[in-house]
Structures are given as structure tokens and as C-alpha cells.
Structure 1
């Protein structure tokens, strides 16, 4: 039995990570594939039956996983960033969330047929718009900064707010007090106690951390253990109050100025991804074929009302008087995908309510899955298209960030800009940007600072090139951005001879742009000798032949995707691609300057226009020749 249970746990982990990997490779919302994996292991094949396999441990394990996810979300709630959010998010949270909860409760009662008690639980659960779903969608959609920031912070803050609201409603349904006053006193006391516990835990950990009372290698394990203790303590103070405690625990740590918080946050993010993967698979596996019978036309009507009436109405009413454009209000009123916390909280509350005598609560989990699946599919498939239609999102462009304004990097930025790629050149020294005389947008400041994240929206860059004259700083920038952009899209210049290879470990560097030997000094020297950036468009159906003396830098595919050449390989320009070359003067004069390549339609239009002009010129020439011929023949006869 023990080996069988261990095998099922390994199967759950494998299914979750495989779904995450496929979602990354296929650019799909991970929630869809995780749900599919859980349905495959559970109802479809019966390989995993969580209630039978885990028994009474299932509920506390699910609750603890939710606690870790909420704690990780709380670590993102930094006060300085929240100051930049503006009135839109405040209105949506303070007015939109209550309106969504009330309207959803009304729809759950009158459309889906839930009792008033269960209907208000449904309303509380469905105010949550999970950041685990919203943020990946924003990265794909490339929305403008104001719209993206609004959705991002709404999603992050809705997790704890929705959890708190659900806890209060749940506590009211299961409490033993006979009067509203007694319940209010009990609920407020429990919420305050859970909140104080979370804040105290954050302050205590920060105090011990600053005094050096915790060894560096123990900080992450101690923090993980504290999350479990705080969650259990909050639940002891009030049923499910641990969700409040761990959320404030994370938010408190995020605002106490811990020097090594980024490392701890990264560790918790990794745990969060693993827990989300396994938790979604387990919760999907708990669904039974009989639950499909509970999805009737009333639930379908409820979900339709949630999508097309409740969310748009809440946003429109909450943002009255803010001066938001109609397009932005339409977009915000449509995009509100629900995520893992909604399903997980439903998995915690549903069985408890059934035990308390609310039989309709057994529909909470299938309803939550239905809402999550429908919103993720619809919003995930339309966020980019609708954003572009409303003018709130950029097209399928591939932004490039170049860190370090050296003469060579400025010339590279101009070349990329001329072929139509969005480029930003950043440097800590404004003087370097001034003397670079580049025609691309620039950023003066520390690229690794919070200011850069707020002003540039770093998530929109698909490629990052660290091109300063400092090898160690290049390695630092590359290693930091590789965590988000991926190592295959993060580059740094080759190290100088005196620094390579002994002073910098390979694992502490990004991919080496161009290859070893092409450091900043060598590239700047060649630029002073007259080397230039040139473009070579490879003919379709032909053989890719590049000038031997030139240095290939990047290739631009007809689709607009750009690939940079690295020491590690993978640079294979194909027919129809445009290759960017760094070439000596004698080679550069034989190549065309870089310019934005024309689309196939534009090229055909140019060819038609040229053919038409050639025909018109030929006709004019023929007429002129005929006129001259006529004069020469008839002149003497006259």
C-alpha cells in the first residue's frame, strides 16, 4: 500500500510538471493542461482517487498548499509599487469586489438555484482573479502599462481579499453564535487575531534575520516551517483564519526591507509552482463523473451572467468618474480569469459546508472548475486579440533590451531599430546615452532596480543583452534576467581576457553573445576601424552563404522572430531570413544597409507598381517614337 501511494504521488508530480512544461512550450495557459492532466488521472482512468488515497489527510494538505500559495502572493505586495497603481485598482478593489460578490450571489440564487447561504459563499469565492493565471496572460498579450498594471495588481490583491471574504461568509455559516452581534464579535476578533499573528511572524523573522540569528542555509527552511506554523495558528484562532495570517505574513516580509528577500521569494516561487501543479491535478482528479450531472442549464446561465453581466457591470460602476476611456473599461470588464486559489478554497470549504448541513455545497468544486476553465479559455484566447483591437496592446513584436551604452551596443541598437524591432538602450550613466547619439528609446538608471521595473515593464522584453564593459555586471544582469526571460534569450558579451575563464564561473554567466573573444574592447576597436552593421536577405529556396570576414550577430525570420548568435550554438539562418552582420569596410560596401524588411504583400504591391510604371513608360516611349516617325515620313509630302 505504501509503495502504491508513493507511486501515485510521483504520478501526480510528473503530470503537474509535464503540464507546466507543455504550457510553456505551446504558449498555452497552464491551468487548462493541469486540469486535463487531473481529469485523465482521475475520472478518465481511475489511477488517482484523492479521497480514497489520502483519506483524512487530503483536506489539511490542500489547505496547507493554499496557504503557501497565498503567502507567496503576499510577498509580491510591496508598498512602494502599490503607490503607483492609482485610483483604478483602488476603485475596483473597494467597490468592484463587493459588487461582484453581491451580484454573483444574486445570480447564484436566482439562476443556479442555490440557497441564499451557499449563494453568498459562491459570491465570495468568485471575486478572486488569480495572479497565477493573469500574469502569464499579460506577458503574452503585451498590454500597455496602465492596463497591464491594473490587471496585475487586481489579481494579486484579490487573492487575499477573496480569501478573507470567503472566510467571513464561511464562518458565519458554521458559527454557533445565535445573534449577529455575537457572530460579529467572534468574527472580528478572529480576523484581528489572525492578522496580528501574521504581522508578528513577519516582524519576528525580519528581526532575527537582521541580527544574524538564522544561518543563511536555514532561512528558506525556517520560512517554510513558519508558514505552516502561522497557518495552523491562524486556524486555531478562527476556522480558516490561517489564510489571512499567511497572506499578511508574506505582505509584511515584503515591506520590511530584508536584504535577501529576492532569494527567499525565488525559493517560494519555485515551491509555489510545484504546489500549484500538484494541487490542480489533485483537485481535478477529485471530480467524479456524477458531478457532470450537476452542471445544468442553471449553472451555465450563471457562468454566462458572471462573464457578460456581473464583471462588466462591476467595473463600469466602480470606475465612474475616473476618466477612463470606454475602450479600457470594456477591456477591464472582460478580462477576469479565475485561478488555483478559487478552486482550492472551494475544495476546502465545500466538504466542510456539506458536513454542516448544506447539501448544495457539494457543487462548489465542480462550479469552481467550470468557472476557472471557461474564464481561462475565453480570456486567455482573447486577451491579445481584444487588446490589439481596442488599441491597448502592441502587435506580435519582439522587444529587445540592451544594457550598456557603449559605441558598439549603440550601433547594434540602431541596426535592430532600423529593421523594425522595438529596442531600448539602458545605462546607469546618462552621459553615455547622450554621447551614443542613438535613435532608439533609452533608459537612464539601474536596470535591476524597482524604478526600472515600474518605468519599463521589464516583462515585455523577449531578449536581453548585457553589453557593458564590466564582465561581472554583465554576468549579474544576465543571471537576473535569465530567471524571467529564460537562459536561451539572455545574453552577455564575452569576458575580457584577464577575466576569463577563471574569475567567472560558467553557471554565473549568461549565454555568450557572438562567442569568446568578442568582448567590448574588441568590438569597439573594430567600430573605430570602420566596421559597420549591414543586413543580408537570404533568397528563398537558395543556400545560406554569409561573407567569411563578417561577424553574424542575429537573424530575423519573416515572422518577425529574432534570434541572436551565441557561443553555445543554435544560430542557423534559413532561406528567407534577414541576417544582421558586423562587417569590415570592404565587405560592408557590398551589402545593403539595414532597413525594415517589407512584407510579402508590400513587395508584391511594389512589383505591381513597378510593372505598371514600366508599361506606362514603354507606352509613352512608343507614342513618342510613333509621333517622331510620323513627322519624318509626312514632312516632305507637305
Structure 2
């Protein structure tokens, strides 16, 4: 980005801050506004960022890592065990089914594409987005059970999809490996991601806690050090051929839990240290969505066909909501809850990152990367619009319904929704709770 483009982005940030409280109840979210601002800048030629896919991919990767880390810091893994049933089902059953259903839909919509390419599209569009889902996750009217399920799912599924995307991308570009080599590759990606993330997150919070107890460290530098943790996890895991996004999320989980003390009445040390990182995640996120709107959205809309539009709509509905419904069979959750969890599975930064990396990997294969990325970009744009427009109102309506259910006298349902310690969960920062009054 050139000087004028950076200045323009800064002006938009200031303008958004000025009216942020005023529009808090409107059907607008930060991603919607900054994607639209980026697209408007490109359309009017006032801001025209050079389409450097490598630089954009790097920005999106760093942004996603910081967001994953920041959200994970507020999840205490010592208490998470009580809440794991739903997110485990969403990840172990819903995520694979989403890829399978997406592949079947894409095969019907794009009959000329090889099976491996339509499967690649489905895999890239499978993970949900932590940034786009924050308006729902942070709405305290939504039961803690449902907010935690969506938050954990969005934090973990990005990393779980990476090996699948890598394998399918390798197949698209003609790279061949034996079955044992693929198994070793996947194990290395997940294993090193988890191990390195735990080491980085655990080592950082132990060192910061030790220095904090002795009054050795300046609070400003403690927050800067915390901001660096997901960056170290991201690029360190990549250097070890591990999964960068799993490493960033695990680093946040361990960082938040190792530094938490059950008897603390105030926000725990990791939450306090992560304040700057949380704000930085906002800044990186709005920059990423602005660049997406300015550089990638126009081509996606121009090149859209009926099949691409149908793919975007079906990816956000049938390919997501059907698998979630199946994954939650046997949980006793009511139909409205299943539909709520199914609908609020937005696609965003993870899909953009995977799509941009695909463009780099498929330069030798004519039109493959561009063709697939067109579908991805339009789906993300549709998600920004549809999920952004329904997040606040949908969460409020669902929250009111859940409150009526809790007050209905159904003890089992009350226990399921509130876990009988929602206030305790909030007190110990089990869930992200924005320090801002406005939605992200």
C-alpha cells in the first residue's frame, strides 16, 4: 500500500470510530463497512491498491493468527471440558460433512471441473470466521453454551482444514506422494502446530507471570510481548512445517489458562496483557477486509456466473446448516438452536488466506487458481453481507427466545443453556467479552 492509500484507510478508521456507538444497533458490522469502503475506493479510483497477492496473503495470515490467539486467550481450558460436547460434534462430524456436502453441490454446479477441484473449493469454504462471528459470540443475551460452541469451532476449524487444503492443492498441481507420506504430512502439520503453539504460549505466560510477580516488567512491554506471541507461533510453526493457525490458537489457549488463577476477582493476567493484542486484532482485521474489498471483490463480482452465485448461497446455507443439523442429532438441542448454530457459520479470513495461497501455488496451472478463487471471493462477500446484516438482530431474537425457554420451568433445558454457572463463566472470562460497547 502506498502513502495515500494508508492515509485513506486511517481516515476511514477515524470516521468509523466517530459513529461506532451510533450505529451499534444497526444491521452493520465492521467487516461490512470496510469491505464496502474498499470497494468504493476502487470503483471511484480514489484508492487503488496494487493486487500483490503475496502481500495480501501475508496480511490475512497475520490477521487471522492474531484474532485466533486473542479469542483463545479468553477461553480457560481447565473449565472448557464441561462445554466441549457441542464444539466437538461441530468439528468432528459437522466439518467433514460440510466438505462432503460442499463437494457434491460443487460437482453439480461445475460439471466441467475435476472432482479434486470442486473438493478443494468445498474445503476452502468449510472453516468459519472468528472475526465475522464476533457480533454473535459477544452478545450476552445468547446462552453461554451456544456462544462458546461457535467460538471454539471458529478457532479450531481453520487449522483442521489446512492439511485437507494442502493435500487437495497438491493433487491439483500434480504433486504426488505415497499414502504414508500424506499421513506423515498431516500428522506433522497438526502435531507440530499443537506442540509448538503450547510451548510458545506456555513459555510466554510463565515468563510474564514470573516477571509480573516480581515487578520487573513494564506493563507496556508486557502487552507488546503478548502481541508478539501469535506472530512467533505463526511463523515458528511454519518454519517447522507445522500448522500455523493451530499453533496460534493453541498458544492462546495455553497462554490464557496457564496465567489464570481461580481466585482472581478482576480480569486475569493473560486477559489484561492481551488488551493491546485484542485492539490490534481489530485494526488488522479492518485493514484485511478493506484490502479485500478494494483488490479482490470487483473481479469476483464481474466474473460471477449463475453457478458461482448458486455455489455461494448453497455454501452458506445447505452445505453448512445441513451438516450442523446432523452433527447435533442426539444432543437434545431444539430445532431453533440447531438452525441458529448452523446459520451463524460465516466465511471470511481463513477462506481468503487459503484462496490467495492457492493462487500462488497454481501459477503453473492455467486459470485454476483464478477460477477457484472467484467462487471463494464471492462467497466471502456474500457472507460479510448476509451474516453481518443478521448478526445483531438474530442474536437478540434468539436470546429472547432462549430466555423464555430458561424461564419456562424446564430444568433440563435451563441447565443445558446456562450450564448453571453462566455468571461464573463470564466472571472467569471463559468467553470473549468485548471491552468496547460496539460490535466488531
TM range (shorter): 0.7 to 0.9
Aligned positions of 1:231-380 closer than 5 A: 231-238=234-241, 241-258=243-260, 260-287=269-296, 289-347=298-356, 349-357=357-365, 359-380=367-388
Find the counterpart in structure 2 of residue 218 from structure 1: 221
* 1:188 equivalent in alignment to 2:182: no
Find the counterpart in structure 1 of residue 5 from structure 2: 8
Q: TM-score, normalised by structure 1?
A: 0.56
How far, CA to CA, are the matches of 1:17 and 1:360 in structure 2? Answer: 39
1:454: Cα distance to partner?
A: 7.9
SS in 2 for 1:128: coil
How far, CA to CA, are the matches of 1:139 and 1:72 in structure 2? Answer: 13
SS in 1 for 2:401: coil
How far, CA to CA, are the matches of 1:21 and 1:342 in structure 2? Answer: 31
Higher-strand-fraction structure: 1
How far, CA to CA, are the matches of 1:144 and 1:50 in structure 2? Answer: 44
1:96: Cα distance to partner?
A: 0.5
SS in 2 for 1:26: coil
Aligned positions of 1:535-574 closer than 5 A: none
Aligned positions of 1:524-543 closer than 5 A: none
1:149: Cα distance to partner?
A: 4.1
How far, CA to CA, are the matches of 1:107 and 1:20 in structure 2? Answer: 41
Aligned partners of 1:283 and 1:344 also within 8 Å: no
SS in 2 for 1:130: coil
Aligned partners of 1:35 and 1:281 also within 8 Å: yes
Aligned positions of 1:398-417 closer than 5 A: none
CA shift in 2, pair 1:231/1:138, >3 Å: closer
CA shift in 2, pair 1:274/1:380, >3 Å: closer
SS in 1 for 2:345: coil
How far, CA to CA, are the matches of 1:343 and 1:23 in structure 2? Answer: 26
How far, CA to CA, are the matches of 2:234 and 2:318 in structure 1? Answer: 36
Aligned partners of 1:125 and 1:166 also within 8 Å: yes
Which string of whole-angstrom CA distances, capped at 9 and with x for unpartnered residues, describes residues 110-162 of structure 1?
Answer: 21454333323322222222232223135569334444443344334434444
Cα RMSD (Å): 3.6
Find the counterpart in structure 2 of residue 131 from structure 1: 130
Aligned positions of 1:46-195 closer than 5 A: 47-51=47-51, 57-113=55-111, 114-137=113-136, 142-163=141-162, 165-167=164-166, 169-170=168-169, 176-195=175-194
Q: Which structure is higher in RCO with an 8 Å CA cutoff and minimum separation 6? A: 2
How far, CA to CA, are the matches of 1:376 and 1:317 in structure 2? Answer: 25
* 1:40 equivalent in alignment to 2:40: yes
Number of residue equivalences: 407
1:273: Cα distance to partner?
A: 0.3
1:244: Cα distance to partner?
A: 2.7
Which string of whole-angstrom CA distances, capped at 9 and with x for unpartnered residues, describes residues 322-345 of structure 1?
Answer: 222223223333332223333344
* Unaligned stretches of 5+ residues in structure 2: 261-267, 405-420
Aligned partners of 2:73 and 2:252 also within 8 Å: yes
Aligned partners of 1:175 and 1:183 also within 8 Å: no
1:295: Cα distance to partner?
A: 1.2
Find the counterpart in structure 1 of residue 408 from structure 2: none
Aligned partners of 2:193 and 2:243 also within 8 Å: yes
CA shift in 2, pair 1:255/1:147, >3 Å: closer
How far, CA to CA, are the matches of 1:178 and 1:172 in structure 2? Answer: 9
Find the counterpart in structure 2 of residue 497 from structure 1: none
Find the counterpart in structure 2 of residue 429 from structure 1: none
Which string of whole-angstrom CA distances, capped at 9 and with x for unpartnered residues, describes residues 233-271 of structure 1?
Answer: 222222x83233222222221221255211222111010
Aligned partners of 2:120 and 2:169 also within 8 Å: yes
CA shift in 2, pair 1:328/1:290, >3 Å: closer
* Unaligned stretches of 5+ residues in structure 1: 396-444, 460-480, 487-638
Query: Structure 1 stretch 360-369 or stretch 27-36: which is displaced more?
Result: 360-369
Aligned partners of 1:164 and 1:243 also within 8 Å: no
SS in 2 for 1:51: coil
CA shift in 2, pair 1:254/1:116, >3 Å: farther
Find the counterpart in structure 2 of residue 575 from structure 1: none
CA shift in 2, pair 1:207/1:6, >3 Å: same
CA shift in 2, pair 1:364/1:219, >3 Å: farther
How far, CA to CA, are the matches of 1:50 and 1:21 in structure 2? Answer: 29
Find the counterpart in structure 2 of residue 228 from structure 1: 231
CA shift in 2, pair 1:136/1:219, >3 Å: same
CA shift in 2, pair 1:163/1:323, >3 Å: same
How far, CA to CA, are the matches of 1:158 and 1:336 in structure 2? Answer: 11
Aligned partners of 2:197 and 2:246 also within 8 Å: yes
